[in-house]
Amino acid sequence: MENILQQIGIENYIYLSTLLFCVGVFGVLFRRNAIVMFMSIEIMLNAVNLLLVAFSTYHQDAAGQVFVFFSMAVAAAEVAVGLAILVAIYRNLNNIDIDSLKKLKG
């Protein structure tokens, strides 16, 4: 089986992951809805995972893919706790607008 990186080149994957990460950063800055901000964080995590798999294929080493498994486990745990926090916020404030969480500002 010929390696995919000989046909596509790892540069293209670096550019794709960079753009995807930037889209995630843009989403966190652009939206007020906390759930959409969570989705943007997932996009950023996926960009990093994609680059890890690309370099795992480049070095022909399984460690990169194993690291992606751990990253997925951490992402699942993060989403569970984060959504629980959002539900608690919604119960108390009746919205999840990020601008209504200003109490620490004093």
Q: What is the number of alpha carbons within 13 Å of residue 98 lying toward its C-beta?
A: 11
Q: Which residue lies nearer to other proteins by CB, 92 or 102?
A: 92
Please, which residue, 22 or 106, has the CB nearer to other proteins?
22
- Supply the minimum distance, in Å, between the C-beta of residue 2 and other proteins: 7
Nearest approach, Cβ of 45 to other proteins (angstroms)? 9
Within 10 angstroms of residue 71's Cβ, the number of other Cβ atoms is 15
- In whole angstroms, the minimum distance from the beta carbon of 97 to other proteins comes to 7
